[in-house]
Amino acid sequence: MKQNKQFFINGREDEVLLKDWETCDGCIASDRITVDGLPVGYMYREKPGDETWDSGWRFTAGDESDEYMQTAENCGIYKLNTICQYDPDITPLLHAPYGTAYIRDENGVFQEEPFEPLEE
């Protein structure tokens, strides 16, 4: 069933924050960011499949349950610049290689974290 999402609008919709990006610029983000307006709390980059849009980046607020994340309607495909508009703090981290993850600490600063991609 298709649902109409009420996206969180923060006034940055027209800003180009991701400059000099020369590869696939799609990503997946949870509705906790794009609908509820929470900042990115956890982000990781996996090697993308065959999709030509996929940068490999995945963004969550960090408080989503497994059940929440297993419901496809709770996430969406976006351009990286769109998620940068929601949370500009991620922008300098996006050139990290596949297999990289960052978690926001108690002071609101991203820290690199070990990441083990799921095997297919």
Q: Give tens-digit pLDDT for 52-62.
A: 899 999 999 99
Do 28 and 55 form a contact (C-beta atoms < 8 A)? no
pLDDT of residue 39: 96
User: pLDDT of 32-80, one tens digit each?
Assistant: 999 999 999 999 999 988 888 999 999 999 999 999 999 999 999 999 9
Distance between CA atoms of residues 84 and 37, nearest Å: 12
Residues 43, 93: contact at Cβ < 8 Å? yes
